[in-house]
């Protein structure tokens, strides 16, 4: 990614607090399972169970969507804005439909179950077999506006 450029749009898809509570409860459940084997085993299970569950929650919240330097950056994908077409804001049931039965297997999809809204961006580059990019986002209108503004710049 180009360095020294400030992003036009920057969003991190962080996991909700309830996921962290569930991770802590998984650690507690691990401790309770091994409690009959003694307190040291229970404490070890609590530490390991909480660390594993916390690592998974952290991985779920490590996704970022950015527009910087003429690129749309979504996790590892870097797509030039010139290769993108129409932006469609998807909310509620329409977003779910594009995540499930309307989805194209060739599409690049950054989905998070805890983010109900999304954008679907058409890929217009004839050399790219990807038909569209689907991005879960908490602010679909802002992302669409940022793409339009970055293209105009």
Tell me the C-alpha distance between 125 and 108, whole Å: 14
Q: Output the pLDDT for position 52.
A: 96
Length of the chain (residues): 153
Taking each helix axis as running N to C, give the angle between helix 17-34 and helix 39-60, from 0 to 180 degrees, rounded to the nearest 10: 160
Q: Which domain holds residue 27?
A: 15-60
Q: Output the pLDDT for position 94.
A: 93
CB 73 within 8 A of CB 80: no
Tell me the C-alpha distance between 85 and 62, whole Å: 27
Q: Output the pLDDT for position 62.
A: 79
Looking at the predicted structure, is the pLDDT value of residue 61 above 90? no
CB 121 within 8 A of CB 135: yes
Q: Residue 76 — pLDDT band, cuts 50, 70, 90?
A: confident
Verify that 95 and 135 share a domain, yes or no: yes
**Tokens 């998807």 -> residue:** 90
Verify that 52 and 74 share a domain, yes or no: no
What is the count of structural domains for the chain?
Answer: 2
In this prediction the pTM is 0.80
CB 32 within 8 A of CB 96: no
Verify that 74 and 48 share a domain, yes or no: no
């Amino acid at each position: 990614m180009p360095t020294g450029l400030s992003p036009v749009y920057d969003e991190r898809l962080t996991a909700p607090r309830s996921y962290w509570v569930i991770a802590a409860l998984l650690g507690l459940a691990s401790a309770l399972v091994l409690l009959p084997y003694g307190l040291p085993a229970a404490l070890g299970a609590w530490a390991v169970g909480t660390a594993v569950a916390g690592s998974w929650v952290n991985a779920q919240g490590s996704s970022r969507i950015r527009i910087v330097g003429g690129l749309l950056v979504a996790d590892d994908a870097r797509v030039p804005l010139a290769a993108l077409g129409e932006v469609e804001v998807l909310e509620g049931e329409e977003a779910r439909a594009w995540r499930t039965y309307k989805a194209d297997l060739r599409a690049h999809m950054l989905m998070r179950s805890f983010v109900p809204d999304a954008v679907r961006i058409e890929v217009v580059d004839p050399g790219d077999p990807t038909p569209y990019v689907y991005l879960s986002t908490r602010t679909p209108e802002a992302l669409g506006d940022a793409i339009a503004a970055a293209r105009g710049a």
